Amino acid sequence: MNPRYNKLESETDYEYGLRLISIKVEEKPDDLDWEDIVTLLHLDCHRDSLRKAANVTDFSGYKVMQYFKEKMETQNCDDSDSYIQELEEKKRQLVKERAKLHTEKLEYNRWLREDARDELFEEKVINAIRENLNKIDPPQKIGGFHTSRYGLLNIADCHFGKDFKIYGLDNRVINAYSPEIFFMRMETLYNEVVEYAHKEGLTAFKIFNLGDALDGFLRNSQLWTLRYGVIKSAIIFGEYMGKWLRALSEEFCIEYYQTCGNHGELRLLDGRKGEHLHENIEMVTGEIIRIINENNPNFKYIENKSGFIFTEIAGYNVMGIHGEVKNSVVALKEYSDVYDVKIDYLISGHRHHSDFVNCGVRRGVIGVGSIVGSDDFSLSIRKVADATASFIIFEKGKGKVDEHTFVLN
């Protein structure tokens, strides 16, 4: 007998019988008869009974077996295709997640490099300044805030490093500016502040520097008006202002506050506006001022971690910002809501002209003029004005009671 008709070791008796019947029905071999199958399977039936059971109708046992066998094979094939597709989709998702993680890692490392570079830049500049500054003996300690009247000197938009002339329609110079003119204006301001503060009977007052102390380097068009590079401007301005404040502290106790302007932003390489708001060259000028006055008993450098200026004067909350807001009156309310603190007076620079808007009882917004005066920016927004600084007097229970403007050009 053909060996293929022998029982396999892996087969049960039933599976062996199904295989023989399948061979007989499907292949109809001459060497396998129904009687042979009865004998091989040890069945107690006639060969014709076995043949009829396997072939008579579509509902015979063999036909039923074939139906379910084919159905299972089809389902297994479909399930396999579906399973493979599912595996491919999961593989794509894994590749995507790996790409996300890789991108996040690259962005994080790039941020670390930029942050470290900015910190290193600032540290190197400050260390160099600290090593090269001439040490000066501190002034004698004088009295502090002892009256019901409090003074606030506001300085904004020095734009140091800029060198230009603005002409009118009649070819007359409307305004000229340079580092030398800046020094002259600050000397004038120093003398007038000393005279005014003594006249008001003040022994101490606060100073707000409202940003854009340097012209910086935001766009290529500035190359036409910049006398110095950004770093040199920062060092010269910082050292000058440090000594200017130190001289003023020989007459009065000074609390100095500073916020940064948009012109001081470090837009290195392809940096865009607002990309590194907390990396500002004016932080370097502030550090120089601090170093020069570190042993000064009449000088305090007050910082706020928000980056803005915030202090209490005569019982009123006063906030200082550079002023890049669309509407200062709206900003007063918004800042109060954001920080959950009632702000009585909001003081800002940026617009290069002074104004005051009353916003309620002992509440308002104060715009401070600029040290630079009218420039290309002023002309672009058609808001020319004198070069000015302002001195505000506050009284307890009355708020802002007086504002003196120092005209410097």
Closest to 385 measured CA to CA, from 338, 351, 343, 337: 351
Radius of gyration of the chain (CA): 44
> Does one domain contain both 164 and 261?
yes
Per-residue pLDDT tens digits for 50-65: 887 777 554 466 666 6
Q: Is residue 22 part of a domain?
A: yes
Per-residue pLDDT tens digits for 175-186: 999 999 999 999
Q: Is residue 111 part of a domain?
A: no
Per-residue pLDDT tens digits for 332-358: 999 999 999 999 999 999 888 899 999
Q: Which domain holds residue 339?
A: 133-407
Binned at pLDDT 50, 70 and 90, residue 221 comes out as very low
Of the residues 28, 56, 84, which one is the last residue of a structural domain? Answer: 56
pTM for this model (two decimals): 0.66
Res 322 pLDDT > 60: yes
> Does one domain contain both 139 and 19?
no
pLDDT of residue 338: 96
Looking only at the bridges linking them, the beta strands covering 149-155 and 204-209 are parallel
The answer to which of 110-119, 209-218, 219-228, 239-248 has the lowest mean pLDDT is 219-228
Handedness of CA 89, 93, 96, 102 (dihedral sign): negative
Looking only at the bridges linking them, the beta strands covering 204-209 and 253-258 are parallel
Query: Which residue has better confidence, 324 or 75?
Result: 324
> Does one domain contain both 160 and 263?
yes
> Does one domain contain both 215 and 314?
yes
- 379: tokens are 């002309």
Given its phi and psi angles, is residue 272 left (phi above 0), alpha (psi -120 to 50 degrees) or beta?
beta
Kindly report the number of other CB atoms within 10 A of residue 244's CB atom. Answer: 17
Binned at pLDDT 50, 70 and 90, residue 264 comes out as very low
Which amino acid belongs to residue 192? Answer: E
Distances in Å between the Cα of 112 and the Cα atoms of 115, 306, 314 are 5, 21, 43
Which amino acid belongs to residue 182? Answer: F
Q: 3-state SS of the chain?
A: CCHHHCCCCCCCHHHHHHHHHHHHHHHCCCCCCHHHHHHHHCCCCCHHHHHHHHHCCCCCHHHHHHHHHHHHHHHHHHHHHHHHHHHHHHHHHHHHHHHHHHHHHHHHHHHHHHHHHHHHHHHHHHHHHHHHCCCCCCCCCCCCCCCCEEEEEEECCCCECECEEEECCCCCEEEEECHHHHHHHHHHHHHHHHHHHHHCCCCEEEEEECCCCECCCCCHHHHHCECCCHHHHHHHHHHHHHHHHHHHCCCCEEEEEECCCHHHECCCCCCCCCCCCCCECHHHHHHHHHHHCCCCCCEEEECCCCCCEEEEECCEEEEEECCCCCCHHHHHHHHHHHHCCCCCEEEECCCCCCEEEEEECCEEEEECCECCCCCHHHHHCCCCCCEEEEEEEEECCCEEEEEEEEECC
Binned at pLDDT 50, 70 and 90, residue 204 comes out as very high
Average pLDDT, the chain: 83
The total of structural domains in the chain comes to 2
Res 193 pLDDT > 70: yes
Q: Is residue 141 part of a domain?
A: yes
pLDDT of residue 227: 64
Res 249 pLDDT > 60: yes
pLDDT of residue 180: 95
Closest to 310 measured CA to CA, from 269, 271, 340, 274: 340
Q: Is residue 80 part of a domain?
A: no
- 37: tokens are 């199958």
> Does one domain contain both 45 and 164?
no
> Does one domain contain both 159 and 17?
no
Residue appearing with tokens 């006639």: 46
Per cent of the chain over pLDDT 70 is 78
Q: Is residue 120 part of a domain?
A: no
Number of Cα atoms under 13 Å in the Cβ half of residue 389: 27
Give the N- to C-terminal CA distance of the chain in Å, as an integer. Answer: 124
Q: Is residue 75 part of a domain?
A: no
Query: Which residue has better confidence, 29 or 79?
Result: 29
Res 275 pLDDT > 60: no
Burial-class residue 243 by CB neighbours within 10 Å (0-12, 13-18, 19+).
Answer: middle
Res 263 pLDDT > 90: no
Region 283-293: mean pLDDT is: 89
> Does one domain contain both 232 and 322?
yes
pLDDT of residue 303: 93
Q: What is the CATH number of the domain that holds 229?
A: 3.60.21.10
Q: Is residue 64 part of a domain?
A: no
pLDDT of residue 262: 52
Res 81 pLDDT > 90: no
